[in-house]
Structure 1
Amino acid sequence: MRILFIGDIFAKVGRDLVRRAVPALVRTRGIDLVIANGENAAGGFGLTRDISKELFDTGIAVMTSGNHVWDKREILGFIDEEPRLLRPFNYPAGTPGRGSTIVTLSSGTRVAILNLMGRVFMTALDDPFSIGRAEAERLRQHADVLLVDFHAEATSEKVALGWHLDGIATAVVGTHTHVQTADAQVLPGGTAYCTDVGMTGPHDGVIGVERGPIIQRFLTGLPTRFDTASGMPRLHAVIVTADVATGAATAIERLSLTPTDIEDLR
């Protein structure tokens, strides 16, 4: 089977790319399931009910998130009633929403999705290594395939978790930094890994926002307003190919698609 995982969807530019690309990729690349990180989909910060529904309507089956998931207050009620929207599993007990889910495809294949968040240079949450592995092992008892979205800042923490879950997870893919890394590989135990899938949105700024004010902030140290960039739209994603019988990955492919690339798929 083949899973398409789309990196951080950023603002309307990212949503427009997803709307155009998902149906074309599903049709031309034999995709069985689409998962995406959507925590920046609402203007670059957070998610709303309407935008979540808009993205699900494109063909996304499950959306993961991270530290920006709470930026729009209305999500607090919606995340409890929408099982397709995940927040990091290692938030403390009592946090709204859920951190993992299992999707059953029409073929009968059961795919588990686990969302974790790192602690290095991030908000201190529960240990993603210990409780993440325990939840991964639990999910594998009930699912044929398991994909983990590790939303983290530090490359070392992401690489370490990939090795920690090698042979348990079908794939461990990183999000959060908005910069696609060139280390997509299948680890010896059969886990597909990529440190960061990248960002689906505008690439003419600084990780999604207008570059001018950000440069001034670095020059002066003064706070600035973050405005969403709009140029150089690009969809970043990976396609993970998995053996359903074993739960192991057999391949992982990085995608970096311009609007012209997407149009050519049609």
Structure 2
Amino acid sequence: MRILFIGDVVGDRGVDMIETYLPQLKRDLKPQATIVNGENSTPVGRGISQSIYKRLLSSGADVVTMGNHTWDNREIFDFIDDTKKLVRPANFPGKDVPGRGWTKLKVNQATLAVINLQGRVFLPPLDDPFAVADELVQEIRKETPIIFVDMHAEATSEKRAIAMHLSGQVSAVVGTHTHVQTSDGQILNQETAFLTDAGMTGPASGILGMQPEGVISRFLNQRPTRYEVETSEPGILSGCVIDINDQTGHATKIKNVLIDAQHPYDY
């Protein structure tokens, strides 16, 4: 099985990049499943709307994952319980959390499970992602060994720690949230694909998708600043493609995907 994963979609420019390039990537890379992180995909860069969710699906996403901005656009409460293709972090605390923390889809004769987790270092103190992952993976492996984890976290050490903790139990752990693609793609113990961060998809000219003035001002004066999404050209699309053995669930290859002004489309 080949999985294409696209990192955090930011604002209108990010959705435009998905609509422009995802169909081409699917045509040329031929993934059997495509996962897109959409937690920053509204025009203001926080949360997701139903219309944007549908645009991501119509562009070729099979599953949309989320993160710490899951609840920032309240419209999500109107539709998250009605779809199996949108997953939010499984370790949100409390009972009766809207939506689902993982989902599964049939891929030919195999079943792919997709889990979304959120880290706790430098982020709100959710339930323990390690304990939640252990419980979910133990249950899911009764049905399929092919498990993809979107680990939405700030700290690189936390992302790698959970990947090593789950090594051999899941097919891939790919980090999101920090919006900068890393170059450390590898197969841990010849079993589990790992990438610290898939990067972002959206405006390339700002700072992590935001207009630079507000971000720089915050660093200069340490006063609260409203961050605004950058809307100008050029754009960037970041992610990775992972090959997995259907029988064992072990990853055999991981490769970065990057499209921007310095890396024109060449797949």
Q: Same fold (TM over 0.5)?
A: yes
Helix, strand or coil at the partner of 2:129: coil
CA distance in 1, matches of 2:110, 2:90: 23
Contact kept, 8 Å, 2:90 with 2:116, in 1: the verdict is yes
RMSD: 1.3
Q: Which amino acid aligns with 2:27?
A: R
Q: Does structure 1 residue 18 correspond to structure 2 residue 18?
A: yes
Give the C-alpha shift of residue 131 in structure 1.
Answer: 1.5
CA distance in 1, matches of 2:190, 2:2: 19
Deviations 1:72-111 (A, max 9, x none): 1110121111111001001122210100011012x12100
Deviations 1:185-231 (A, max 9, x none): 00005000001100011121111100012111111122222111133
CA distance in 2, matches of 1:51, 1:131: 29
Helix, strand or coil at the partner of 1:126: coil
CA distance in 2, matches of 1:80, 1:3: 25
CA distance in 1, matches of 2:137, 2:35: 17
Q: Which runs of 5+ in 2 are unaligned?
A: none
Matching residue of 1:27? 27
Matching residue of 1:85? 86
After the TM superposition, which of the residue ranges 111-120 and 127-136 deviates more from structure 2? Answer: 127-136
Deviations 1:238-257 (A, max 9, x none): 00000101100000001111
CA distance in 2, matches of 1:256, 1:38: 17
Q: Which amino acid aligns with 1:118?
A: G
Matching residue of 2:5? 5
Helix, strand or coil at the partner of 2:252: strand
Helix, strand or coil at the partner of 2:241: strand
Identity over the aligned pairs, expressed in percent?
43
Give the C-alpha shift of residue 62 in structure 1.
Answer: 0.4
TM-score for both structures, normalised by structure 1? 0.95
TM-score for both structures, normalised by structure 2? 0.95
After the TM superposition, which of the residue ranges 15-24 and 238-247 deviates more from structure 2? Answer: 15-24
CA distance in 2, matches of 1:236, 1:103: 23
Contact kept, 8 Å, 1:102 with 1:143, in 2: the verdict is no
Q: Which runs of 5+ in 1 are unaligned?
A: none
Matching residue of 1:40? 40
